[in-house]
Each structure stands twice: as structure tokens, then as C-alpha cells.
Structure 1
Amino acid sequence: MAKISYYTEEGLNRLKAELVELKTKGRTAIAHQIAEARDKGDLSENAEYDAAKDAQGLHELKISKLEEVLSNARVLDESTIDTSLVSVLSKVKIKNVKSGAEMLYTLVSEEEADLKAGRISVGSPIGKGLLGKRVGETAEIKVPAGVLEFKVIEIAR
């Protein structure tokens, strides 16, 4: 069964633009590489031709996967989301109980995650651990370095 993923409108538009780019310019570039390699002679001993055909297969696989992601993608209407608990597209201010460090993250789909921009995936250990928590609750999250405790300070949209 296909897994439904929720996106911001901006994130979904970015994926659609990437698909259009792959189908147009990407396919054209690979077709050009194959034609160039074919012009160089005997195809049975032409490594350049083989490499171009392999690149074409990988490119088509990437297009296929992106089409599958888009077919299961939904835009999440932020105005209908309950802000009393952490969910997809929540902006969550958390505090590391042990170190006292505070962080602000937005929980997004895996494809939109960007740690430098403060956007973490709902599929990541921290994202999963925060889902469903309310302000004041503490989440014990198992990460590769051990178990971390985060207290939810604030939830916003």
C-alpha cells in the first residue's frame, strides 16, 4: 500500500518542477549523450555508449520514483491543524533537558527536510518522538548517541 506524504504547497511545487526538469532537459541531455556515443562506432565495444544507457536507466528510475511520490502527495491545509499538539508542519520549540539548549524545528516530510533551515523530517527519530506531544510534555527519544530528553516549550504554525 502506498504511503501518503503531506507537504507544504511550496514543497509540492518544488517536487513538480523537479519532475518537469527531469522529463524535459534531463531526457534530452541523456538522448544527446547516447547519440554522441553511437556515432563513435561499434556499439559492442563502446564503453561510452554503455555508460550513457546506464545513465538513462537510472534517470528513468528517478523519474518513476518521483512520479510515485507525487501520486501519494497531499498538501496539508495549515489552518485546519490542531496547534495544541505537535504534528506535521508544526513549529516546535524544544529544550534539551540535560544541556538546557533550546531549538526551534518545523516538522516536515522527508523530502522537505533541511536541518540547516530548521526543518526536520517527521520520520526522523526526533520528529517521531515529538509527534503528538503537548506543551510542557517531555519526550524521551532514542538516537544513535543514546537517549535524549526534550521538553516541548512552544507549538506554533
Structure 2
Amino acid sequence: FGDLSENAEYDEAKNEQGKLYSRIAELEEIIKHAVVVTGDSYAADEVSPGCRFIVKDLEEDEEEEYHFVGSQEADPMDGKISDESPFGKAMLGKKVGDVVEVEAPIGIVKYEIIKIEK
């Protein structure tokens, strides 16, 4: 396509290559610091990474289901939370029947843990 200084396709390909190299470096950093969570870390009846659990909002009287995932997979709108969120930190290690207080922008919200599935 002629002179490289005037080739927009070449410039765009170089930009895309730079983005890919950046993403590769990011993924390598994530893998380097990854921690394998085993079933031995938490009791079977506790909220822990990998489990699904149902909570009841005591003020709204509504039940919601959540899946405890790693920070890279977290998507609160899809019910996937991690221990990096205030909600996840509050739930980690709790058992069925526990009432958990979570600090939210609207104030303290109380939840009761209804069910835990590993």
C-alpha cells in the first residue's frame, strides 16, 4: 500500500498489536498473583469463594441469589460478587441464619443468609 508513513492500515495494525501486548502483560500479572482456593480454606456451611447463596433483605423482604466469584469475574448486576466488594467482604465466612449488616451508600442494610450451596 505504498509508503508506511502514509499507510493507515499499518498504523491501525500497530496500535492493535500494542493493545494486545498490553492485555497479555495484564493477564500474565493476574496469573502470577493468582491464589488457588481449596475446599479446606472454609467450612462447608460458610459463604466462601465458589459457592452460591441466597440472602433475604430484611427491610425489603426480598430474596436474592448470589454466586461468590473471583474479582476478575465479578458482575453485581448478574449476581456475581467477589470479596473485594463491601457486600462480599461482609458475607465471607458467614453461615445460614446469620444476619449480616452491609454498609451501603443509603446506609446500613441487613441481610439474613437463607441458603448456601457449594
Aligned to 1:36: none
1:115-126 to 2 correspondences below 5 Å: 115=76, 118-126=79-87
1:52 is matched with: 13
Task: Flag structure 1 segments of 5+ consecutive residues without an equivalent.
Answer: 1-39
Q: State the alpha-carbon separation in 2 of the partners of residues 57 and 64 from structure 1.
A: 11
Which residue of structure 1 lines up, in the alignment, with residue 60 of structure 2? 99
What CA distance in whole angstroms lies between the structure 1 residues aligned with 2:82 and 2:17?
Answer: 30
Change (3 A) 1:57 1:144: farther
Give the direction of change, closer, same or farther, for the CA distance of 1:70–1:136 in structure 2 (3 Å limit): same
- Say whether residues 1:133 and 2:90 are aligned partners: no
Q: Which amino acid aligns with 1:100?
A: D
Aligned twin of 2:110 = 149
Superposition TM-score, scaled by structure 2 size: 0.79
Q: 1:136, CA displacement in angstroms? A: 2.2
Using the aligned pairs only, state the percent identity: 39
1:37 alignment partner in structure 2? none
CA apart distance, 1:121: 2.1
Structure in which a larger fraction of residues adopt helix: 1
Deviation readout 1:100-126 (Å, 9 max, x if unpaired): 111221211022334576432222232
Residue number in structure 1 paired with 2:30: 69
Q: So what's the TM-score if we normalise by structure 1?
A: 0.62
Distance 1:86 1:136 in 2: 12
**Which residue identity lines up with residue 59 of structure 1 in the other structure?**
L
CA distance in 2, matches of 1:55, 1:142: 41
| RMSD, aligned CA | 2.3
* Alignment coverage as a number of residue pairs: 117
Alpha-carbon deviations, 1:5-56, whole Å to 9, x = none?
A: xxxxxxxxxxxxxxxxxxxxxxxxxxxxxxxxxxx12222333322211111
